[in-house]
Structure 1
């Protein structure tokens, strides 16, 4: 089903690290015009590995963010809305409490499976640019990472892995400039993905979510983030390694001085880069295409089609 012109809808992505809203005009599964967008970093999945629940501070902060999003939706008179929650709410013992609290703030949430998350991410990436032939899409999230590609039978393959940058930051202290920590995390990630195989016909490696977009912003030395420049940006493996070395060797309290660094990602970008590099090694490719569009954009396209 394709959407009609001037079909205004909204998508909200409640992730393990950040919560993101987009209000846009959608036509034929493509985002034609972004009317409004907003992002807040809440680290909703903080300490979930240890406690199994959403902690009080990020829980309440996230609900307050959603209440603010509700005001924006009302301002723009948006009726078609899809709000999705991923691994943090999916895995937390008090996820249902979060859903109810959000509902009281005027936001109806759907907890989506890892497979559906991957499908929406594919839809979102393709809503922003042509993904090319035989693309692989990697979404490194806060609590999970999705690998998505089209199989030979034209069926979409999606796999969700319970590893993400917030979970890694709970296990390793990336605020320290430590080669030992970097090596231990790298070894952990390699072991985690040891049984993952990637088809040998992948022709385009696309990375989406905050690690990838921050890499692009740092490579372009952005002082003000511009999604138009980031979406479709290409960066080499060698440059990614160079940025990794630059970030982890910079004292934590100085990392925000790196042009393009996203506030709140000064430590999270390190495990994110390591995950990207590990999956990239499983292909014969050396260039990463960055997508600013992902799950949130897939949600708005799905909402427009509802």
Structure 2
């Protein structure tokens, strides 16, 4: 039996999932932990990870270490995505993590991040055709799925934190700021030539911002377990109405919205612009949400390795 520890260091949060895997490849998730660290905060044009963000991240990883250090037969897979991928002080940061915590991160490409997203979704949802949209803090991954196969992928350098910091007020968002952000995102989408192949297909939403969209609507509809968004569906009308509602509120008002974490209230509008514009661009009438993504993809990758080992 193996304890697989998967640590996903993103731009807004760092998450850890621990799964028990037996020799036959059967698994059980036994622990999931999340900390908001805002690693990409104030990176600026120099793309520098800032001391305060690094400090928050190291503190969270130290907490994680106290949990996984107790495990036997553990395998640790730690990956870093957009913030570290883009950071000009990437090597110094990774060295600091290694020296302080004896933890080695692999910085994965946007394409590899998308592949893990695909594996997480395709192994847990009955998706045949659709466009997977993983909106992170500093990047978004788009994956075109046709007949359950991954046909096209792209990682684009925009996310909830970076869009919010570059274009939007943290309190009440102004019309000119919103228009500038939407124009930027539209121009990025227009450069993805294959997106027209996703016209009229359902969208599958991953990432914290998109899952928050589902949680807000589940709370509104009085679902008992509002955080269990896996497989939950919303219409395009619901998506646009939710974004409109949030745009009408200042920061204090957004912090009171049921289903929206206070830690995400200042970046949620920036986080929802990509999926709302995509659904409009593709004339997609429905979005399905997935709780499974990158960490699950790494888990299924490991399970396939175990199953392919000679007995």
What SS is found at the alignment partner of 2:247? helix
Contact preservation (8 Å) 1:11, 1:303 = no
Deviations 1:239-277 (A, max 9, x none): 111111211211202312110002321121112211002
| 1:149 partnered with 2:144 | yes
Find 1:121's aligned residue among 114, 117, 131.
Answer: 117
Find 1:99's aligned residue among 94, 101, 104.
Answer: 94
| 1:285 partnered with 2:281 | no
Q: CA deviation at 1:202?
A: 6.6
- The aligned counterpart of 1:43 is 38
Q: CA deviation at 1:282?
A: 3.4
Greater CA drift, 112-121 or 296-305: 296-305
Q: CA deviation at 1:85?
A: 0.4
C-alpha RMSD of matched pairs (Å):
2.7
Can you give the 5+ residue segments of structure 2 that lack an aligned partner in the other structure?
A: 307-311
- The aligned counterpart of 1:132 is 127
Give the Cα–Cα distance (whole angstroms) in 2 for the partners of residues 256 and 89 of structure 1: 28
What SS is found at the alignment partner of 1:193? helix
Find 1:182's aligned residue among 178, 202, 206.
Answer: 178
What SS is found at the alignment partner of 1:220? helix
| 1:17 partnered with 2:12 | yes
Give the Cα–Cα distance (whole angstroms) in 1 for the partners of residues 10 and 232 of structure 2: 23
- The aligned counterpart of 1:269 is 268
Give the Cα–Cα distance (whole angstroms) in 1 for the partners of residues 12 and 67 of structure 2: 21
Contact preservation (8 Å) 1:15, 1:85 = yes
Q: CA deviation at 1:221?
A: 1.2
Asked which structure has the greater RCO (Cα within 8 Å, sep 6+), the reply is: 1
Give the Cα–Cα distance (whole angstroms) in 1 for the partners of residues 191 and 241 of structure 2: 27
The count of aligned residue pairs is 300
Give the Cα–Cα distance (whole angstroms) in 2 for the partners of residues 94 and 17 of structure 1: 18
Give the Cα–Cα distance (whole angstroms) in 1 for the partners of residues 81 and 289 of structure 2: 21
Q: CA deviation at 1:32?
A: 4.8
Contact preservation (8 Å) 1:131, 1:204 = no
What SS is found at the alignment partner of 1:49? coil
Find 1:208's aligned residue among 174, 194, 206.
Answer: 206
- Pair 1:27–1:263, CA change in 2 (3 A): farther
What SS is found at the alignment partner of 2:172? coil
- Pair 1:251–1:72, CA change in 2 (3 A): same
Q: CA deviation at 1:71?
A: 1.4
- The aligned counterpart of 1:70 is 65
What SS is found at the alignment partner of 2:219? coil
Give the Cα–Cα distance (whole angstroms) in 2 for the partners of residues 106 and 96 of structure 1: 15
Contact preservation (8 Å) 1:9, 1:79 = yes
- The aligned counterpart of 2:243 is 244
